[in-house]
Amino acid sequence: MEINGVEIEDTFAEAFPIKISRVLITAATKRWAEIAALEATGFGTSVIMCPAEAGIEKFVGPDETPDGRPGVYIQICTFGYESLEHQLLERLGQCVLTAPTTAVFNGMPEAEKQFNVGFKLKFFGDGMESETEVDGRKMFSIPIMEGDFLVEENIGAVAGIAGGNFFIFGDSQMTALTAAEVAVEAIKDLDGTITPFPGGIVASGSKAGFNNYKFMKATANEKFCPSIRDKVEGTEIPEGVKAVYELVINGVDEDAIQKAMKAGIEAAIAVPGVSKITAGNYGGKLGKYQFHLKDLC
């Protein structure tokens, strides 16, 4: 398939189950909400060696939040619910409770699974905390040095999906990078997904396992590495391609991932010099979910 002269390979992204919590952080301004969100979702690109995968889902205006202030939805993802609760406690307790002007609301009040993270964080108040209500939600108010920190009693979680993805091929590194950036921006306008890597972008996509170093769980995906194109049998790099970036997308359900992949790909191919879009999979052997590019565009 070809769109605007860009080849869309007939392949699919292979993705996996993961547990996802969604948290709404509000603050005095959008900028302070973002600062808290960046700290809380940092060191959160891949569960290979990070304690969680995490990222900003989207920003919301004051008319869309329980306390009438600007807000940002973040997602935190781990393989199991137990580790997820730990990550919520640590990341919200250390990176949002400590951040200027923030409050924390349940981003998934409808979910069956609920962690009483707010209940646990209230003990920081050392007996001076109290219960209150904001827009019908049960909150704890904890006196702190800047004033009072408000946190909702529960934070919900669902079984979601990790590893939605696509690859962008460009005629220069900066072409492919700009396309990746604009794809991340487009996805940030949507509900339900995050792109957990730095700036939403993967510069060094990996393959599971190794060719040479037996002690490695994941190594460079050499078939997609332009600088060694001439040395790799079966290289996937067409002539003239100088760089490849991958977007990895986690989301609450298949529909969210699909919409994000579609929006991201459409934005990416508007950048002149992008020549091809493909996606990463394991031949369907490992992942439970398949997102076929031809179904999206």
Residues 66-95 that bind a second copy (CB under 8 A): 67-70, 89-91, 93-95
Tell how far CA 11 is from the center of its chain.
22
Tell how far CA 283 is from the center of its chain.
24
Report, in Å, the least distance between residue 170 CB and a second copy.
7
Q: Which of 117, 151, 260, 271 binds a second copy (CB under 8 A)?
A: 271
Does the footprint of a second copy cover residue 24 (CB under 8 A)?
no
Does the footprint of a second copy cover residue 135 (CB under 8 A)?
no
Residues within window 144-203 making contact with a second copy, judged by CB under 8 A: 144-149, 167, 170-178, 180-182, 185-186, 189, 197-199, 201-203
CA angle 215, 289, 60 (to 5 degrees): 100
Helix (H, G, I), strand (E, B) or coil at 122: helix
Does the footprint of a second copy cover residue 290 (CB under 8 A)?
no
Measuring CA to CA, which residue among 288, 20, 53 is closest to residue 159? Answer: 20
Residues within window 99-128 making contact with a second copy, judged by CB under 8 A: 99-102, 123-128
Residues within window 230-249 making contact with a second copy, judged by CB under 8 A: 231-232, 242-246
Q: Which of 2, 61, 132, 208 binds a second copy (CB under 8 A)?
A: 61
The beta strand positions in 137-255, using DSSP E, are: 137-144, 147-152, 155-170, 193-194, 206-208, 218-220, 243-251
Does the footprint of a second copy cover residue 9 (CB under 8 A)?
no
Proportion of the chain in helix, strand, coil states, percent, rounded to 5: 30, 35, 35
Please choose, out of 14-22, 29-37, 157-165, 288-296, the segment that lies near a second copy by the rule CB under 8 A: 29-37
Measuring CA to CA, which residue among 20, 124, 131, 130 is closest to residue 76? Answer: 20
